[in-house]
Structure 1
Amino acid sequence: MGALAWLLALGLLAAGAAAGGAWWWLGQPLSLHKPSVELSIEPGTAPQQVALAWVAAGVDTDARLLYQWFRWSGQARQIRAGSYEIHQGATPRELLDKMVRGDEVLEAVRLIEGWTFRQFRAALAKAPSLKATTAGLSEAEIMSALGAPGQPAEGAFFPDTYAFSRGVSDLTVMKRAHAAMQRRLDAAWAGRAEGLPLKSAAEALVLASIVEKETGTAADRGLVAAVFVNRLKIGMPLQTDPTVIYGLGEAFDGNLRKRDLQTDTPHNTYTRAGLPPTPIAMPGMASLQATVHPATSRALYFVARGDGSSEFSEDLAAHNRAVNKYQRGQK
Structure 2
Amino acid sequence: MTPKKIISIVSIAVISGLIIYGFVLITQIFSKNTSFDKQEIYVHIPTDATYEQVLDSMALYVTNLNRFEMVASKMNYPENVKSGRFLLTNGMNSYELVKAMRYNVPVKLAFNNQERVENLAGRVGSQIEADSVSLLKAFKDSVFLKENGFTEENILAMFIPNTYEVYWNTSAVKFRDKMIKEYRNFWTSERIAQAEKQGFTPTEATILASIVHKESVKKDERPRIAGVYLNRLRLGMPLQADPTVIFAKKKKDNDFDQVIKRVFYNDLFLNSPYNTYKVIGLPPGPIAMPDITALEAVLNPEKHDFIYFCASVDRFGYHEFAATLQEHTVNAKKYSNWINAQGVKR
- Give the TM-score taking structure 2 as reference length: 0.72
> What is the Cα deviation at residue 101 of structure 1?
3.7
Distance 2:280 2:49 in 1: 57
> What is the Cα deviation at residue 191 of structure 1?
5.8
Over 3 Å counting, the alpha-carbon distance change for 1:302 and 1:261 in structure 2 is same
Aligned equivalent of 2:20: 17
> What is the Cα deviation at residue 304 of structure 1?
1.0
State the one-letter code of the partner of 1:61. Answer: N
Distance 1:319 1:124 in 2: 42
Answering whether residue 220 of structure 2 is matched by residue 211 of structure 1, we say no
User: Residue deviations 1:207-239, cap 9 Å, x none?
Assistant: 111111111422211101111122222322211
Aligned equivalent of 1:320: 329
Aligned equivalent of 2:343: none
Mapping of residues 124-203 of structure 1, within 5 Å: 127=126, 132-134=131-133, 142-144=139-141, 147-148=144-145, 150-152=151-153, 153-160=155-162, 171=172, 175=176, 178-179=179-180, 182-183=183-184, 185-187=186-188, 189-190=191-192, 192=194, 195-198=197-200, 200-203=201-204
Q: Of the candidates 44, 49, 52, which is equivalent to residue 40 of structure 1?
A: 44
Over 3 Å counting, the alpha-carbon distance change for 1:233 and 1:163 in structure 2 is same
Aligned equivalent of 1:263: 270
Mapping of residues 294-309 of structure 1, within 5 Å: 294-306=301-313, 307-309=316-318
Give the fraction of aligned pairs with identical amino acids, expressed as a percent.
22
Q: What's the secondary structure of 1:40's corresponding residue?
A: strand
State the one-letter code of the partner of 1:29. Answer: K
Over 3 Å counting, the alpha-carbon distance change for 1:291 and 1:52 in structure 2 is same
Over 3 Å counting, the alpha-carbon distance change for 1:311 and 1:121 in structure 2 is same
User: Residue deviations 1:234-262, cap 9 Å, x none?
Assistant: 32221111112222324498453322212
Distance 2:103 2:34 in 1: 22
Q: Of the candidates 81, 98, 123, which is equivalent to residue 100 of structure 2?
A: 98
Is contact 2:110-2:162 (8 Å) kept? yes
Is contact 2:121-2:132 (8 Å) kept? no
Is contact 1:133-1:170 (8 Å) kept? no
State the one-letter code of the partner of 1:233. Answer: R
> What is the Cα deviation at residue 130 of structure 1?
6.1
User: Residue deviations 1:255-296, cap 9 Å, x none?
Assistant: 533222123321121222111111111111111111111123
Mapping of residues 65-104 of structure 1, within 5 Å: 65-70=67-72, 72=74, 80-84=82-86, 86=88, 89-102=91-104
Aligned equivalent of 2:341: none
Distance 1:31 1:213 in 2: 48
Q: What's the secondary structure of 1:236's corresponding residue?
A: coil
Distance 2:57 2:326 in 1: 74
Query: What are structure 2's unaligned runs of at least 5 residues?
Result: 339-346
Answering whether residue 297 of structure 2 is matched by residue 290 of structure 1, we say yes
Is contact 2:110-2:163 (8 Å) kept? yes
> What is the Cα deviation at residue 183 of structure 1?
4.4
Query: What are structure 1's unaligned runs of at least 5 residues?
Result: none
State the one-letter code of the partner of 1:271. Answer: K
Distance 1:117 1:55 in 2: 36
> What is the Cα deviation at residue 186 of structure 1?
1.9
Is contact 1:132-1:170 (8 Å) kept? no
Answering whether residue 254 of structure 2 is matched by residue 247 of structure 1, we say no
Answering whether residue 216 of structure 2 is matched by residue 226 of structure 1, we say no
Q: What's the secondary structure of 1:311's corresponding residue?
A: strand
Is contact 2:86-2:103 (8 Å) kept? no
Over 3 Å counting, the alpha-carbon distance change for 1:122 and 1:75 in structure 2 is closer
User: Residue deviations 1:82-137, cap 9 Å, x none?
Assistant: 24475764421331243234358x6x886442634454456567x489664518x9
Distance 2:118 2:328 in 1: 35
Distance 2:113 2:289 in 1: 6
